Structure 1
């Protein structure tokens, strides 16, 4: 029969519970109740008998021989084999259920051996020694974490020029998966989010404390964010926190609400001053070139007059030198010629007619001017 029941014709089932072998008891060592059993009610099971019954059943199941009480060398060998097989199956199940683990694409596996760091594994199906020999931690290393700092009193910071500014900025970070970053993240930092928040706020206060208010709220926003990120990353690297700062965005940078109206007036005044300065610069750019042009024109005219006067004087001097040279060669002829030229220029404007010789000077009757004298007398 399929259960290898060798107990004879006692009619026992596969667990060896025949009436001849068990003294009328069921497989758990209990007699049936009711009828003519003469029993005094339900009796507690005998544990030794239960163990013997189970051993006998296992021997029958795996083809063992021997009586139901487990006596004989064949019974001992079959029982040992069955117990060993069960042990092997239990150990295999232990290894399978606790020794294989899956690392997701966004995770890294950190294996601990007896609670001490052993290795870091990459995504995929991985194996380890079964629990509790080795355990695994699966932190997410590609997920970007974000937090906002500055809401409330923590956002009011003192600038270098003794002003207060309201700052609101966002920090984006994730686990550093390079090198020992994951290990440091798990074992060097107790509260990663709180650490990032504290370090970022401290670094922002340091950067704000070394900058002026006007620079922070206008053109310096990008520089403030970059300087803060570098300072936060350097501090976390010094702590070996295993955290990578991706970006710090300065979302809000403005004076406190109580003084923002005054700052707006200051901004308006500065804009007016800038506009007046630009207008003055434009006027200067239009007037200065014209003045420079006139100055250059006057300078050129003066230089031309100077050159003409110098040239004329130089010509007169050269003519005098030439005349002197001629005079030095023939003084008498030169004196006479000069005398005649002078007399010609003087007497040329006179109405006298000068005759040479002993006749002397005779009046000259200008016949061509008689009409002119008559006209003047009529007037």
Structure 2
């Protein structure tokens, strides 16, 4: 050995002096060749080394050197039992918070999922526990408020979108393998949700025109995107439940935003005018219908009155005819006199008696016009006196 090469000067190796010199400080003892615990060539004997090591361990743990080493065995057993108790007490239990689920791995393989509370398990490294949060709602933002992601619509227009996806781990009686899939099937869950969200939104936008996306069709776009995302993640067995997709930003690119705003304003004006026309129609149509009903009722009343009057005239004629049939001459004269009274009753008559000596050149047509009733003359004079 290298430490035995020094011939003189008492130079010994790290285990004591060489040359067969007695050295009580040699930890390996002396062998048959002059050194305690050494073999024929002066090297330490392996059996003696092991025996000396056991003796020293017994002495270290309080054991004696009695026959069979029974005292040392008891000390080692007590120490081993204490270490085992400490090991089990430190790693044989765990606590699951209310918002967590306990996933127990046995030798690195999934074994079971536990509910919140104080739980026991086999000590480490036999069983390990992971505590993912299963009731916390996670959020992924796609696009910012200032600038979103650009996508192509069905009518070959470009739309600028920004939306948020809310999700959480599938957990509960309806999803027995949800937590397991969440931990072991997808390495980067946030990245997977982000990629699936953008892909699903592009598919939905690619089958929708621009106008519904930026106006009244946002809710439908969000619902279709959420449904498509859930289907894809279920195929991946990612253990993720999509709660909601909020479409926060949907507008045309900044380069053409003014033109789209004008189009939007025109559409709003058209809608306003349509509503005004509808309101006007709702006010005019009932009025016209009422006027038509009034005219119809008036015509019906006139018809009834004319029929009644004609019926009365007919009845009167029949009554006169009956009287005429009984006394023709009297009835004829009475009818003549009544007719003449009705015809001449409203005209001015000037009866001239030729025997009275009327002058033929008098303005007879003005006699009736210049004649004033006495009552009118008196009334006029009284009024003038006032």
Q: TM-score, normalised by structure 1?
A: 0.68
1:1-379 aligned at under 5 Å gives the runs 25=24, 47-48=49-50, 50-58=52-60, 61-62=62-63, 64=64, 66=66, 72-73=67-68, 76-150=69-143, 155-178=149-172, 179-284=176-281, 287-288=284-285, 291-328=288-325, 330=326, 333=327, 335-345=328-338, 365=353, 376=364
For the residue of structure 2 that corresponds to 1:184, the secondary structure is helix
- Give how far 1:148 is off: 1.0
Distance in 1 separating the partners of 2:25 and 2:100? 56
Distance in 2 separating the partners of 1:309 and 1:171? 80
Distance in 2 separating the partners of 1:126 and 1:306? 100
Q: Is contact 2:147-2:162 (8 Å) kept?
A: no
Distance 1:233 1:341, change over 3 A: same
Q: Is contact 2:148-2:162 (8 Å) kept?
A: no
**Unmatched segments (≥5 aa) in structure 2:** 1-21, 31-42, 345-350, 368-386
Distance in 2 separating the partners of 1:327 and 1:271? 83
Distance 1:287 1:134, change over 3 A: closer
- Give how far 1:313 is off: 1.5
Q: Is contact 2:152-2:159 (8 Å) kept?
A: yes
For the residue of structure 2 that corresponds to 1:168, the secondary structure is strand
Moved more, 110-119 or 204-213: 204-213
Deviations 1:50-75 (A, max 9, x none): 4154145258x25x463xxxxx34xx
Distance in 2 separating the partners of 1:378 and 1:266? 84
Distance in 1 separating the partners of 2:277 and 2:132? 65
Q: CA RMSD in A?
A: 4.1
**Unmatched segments (≥5 aa) in structure 1:** 1-22, 32-42, 67-71, 351-362
Distance in 1 separating the partners of 2:72 and 2:221? 78
Distance in 1 separating the partners of 2:125 and 2:365? 156
- Give how far 1:164 is off: 2.6
Distance in 2 separating the partners of 1:232 and 1:288? 51
Q: Is contact 1:144-1:174 (8 Å) kept?
A: yes
- Give how far 1:374 is off: 6.2
- Give how far 1:279 is off: 4.5
Distance in 1 separating the partners of 2:170 and 2:360? 125
Distance in 1 separating the partners of 2:302 and 2:203? 71
Aligned residues: 321
